[in-house]
Amino acid sequence: MLIGERIRRVQQRLSQRGLTMLELVLAMGLLFVSAGGVMTILVAGAGYPRRTQYVVVRDALAKIKLDELISASAAPLDPPTYVPVTANPDYEVKVEQTPSSWDPKDIWVTVSVRGPIPLQVESKISGMVVTSVGSSLFFTTYHCDSCHTVGTGPNGLGPNLNGSALAKGLAARNAALGGGFTLDQYIDESVRNPNAYRVIDPTTGSPYATSMTAYPLPADMPAADVQAISTYLQSL
């Protein structure tokens, strides 16, 4: 029964006859209890959409991170402890990994996201990262990730090397130097002679200032390794 209806009935009774002090106290107590119950429901209900929004954000951030790890096809470099999410520091992310039981080269990863700070509630999602020869060479053997990012990551000391970034670099290289290179040829040239064409840094409008280490001879980086890295990068 609505509070207003209860008040109206009490007023009717008051107008019909005089109430004893006990009846008046009981009537007022009933009104206060009813009002308190309604307020509790309103407060709890008001918090429900916000809590639901937190769950949606956590789930989305965890899914985005897992997709990045899977698309990279390489062992995650993230620490197994909570760190702020770069795009949304109100939330924290943690990546845990274990080798696959059926193929040690593949990795089972679990992404956990908690927040918003100071909340400790977590959302978790797991998936398999299937590593490739090219990704292993890129990240582990030659440590290309010390200067380059891949996937959706930002530029580092050198440009991002995902598929779209490479396509733009190739188009700019062919426009500047000619030759009609393919992506494989462009990547091979960048490995053997990185100063032949230096990509423009979009933040400065000038070529990247840091020159990468060159691998001019097959003895420095075998042609098969260059091709494997090229295939991996073009898959991103």
41-55, 58-72, 169-183, 187-201: the lowest-pLDDT one: 41-55
Contacts of 123 (CB under 8 A, 6+ apart): 55, 58, 59, 61, 62, 112, 113, 114
Of 48, 70, 67, 71, nearest to 59 (Cα)? 67
Q: What is the pLDDT of residue 44?
A: 47
Beta partners for 128?
Answer: 108
pLDDT for the residue 175: 94
DSSP, res 120: -
* 225 pLDDT tier (thresholds 50, 70, 90): very high
Contacts of 197 (CB under 8 A, 6+ apart): 169, 172, 173, 176, 177, 189, 190
- Higher model confidence: residue 69 or residue 176? 176
Most confident of 86-95, 121-130, 202-211: 86-95
At 20, is the pLDDT very low, low, confident or very high (cuts 50, 70, 90)? low
Instruction: Give the three-class secondary structure for 89.
Output: strand
More confident residue, 101 or 196: 196
> What local confidence, expressed as pLDDT, does residue 184 receive?
94
Identify the band that residue 214 occupies on the pLDDT scale cut at 50, 70 and 90: confident
For the purposes of burial, counting CB atoms within 10 Å of the CB of 43, is it exposed (0-12), middle (13-18) or buried (19 or more)? exposed
* pTM strictly above 0.75: no
pLDDT greater than 50 at residue 42: no
**Of 81-95, 123-137, 160-174, 182-196, minimum mean pLDDT range:** 123-137
The pLDDT tens digits of the residues spanning 150-186 come to: 866 667 788 888 888 899 999 999 999 988 999 999 9
- What is the reported pLDDT for 2? 53
In this prediction, residue 189 carries a pLDDT of 93
Whole-number percent of the chain with pLDDT over 70: 74
Give the model's pLDDT for residue 212. 82
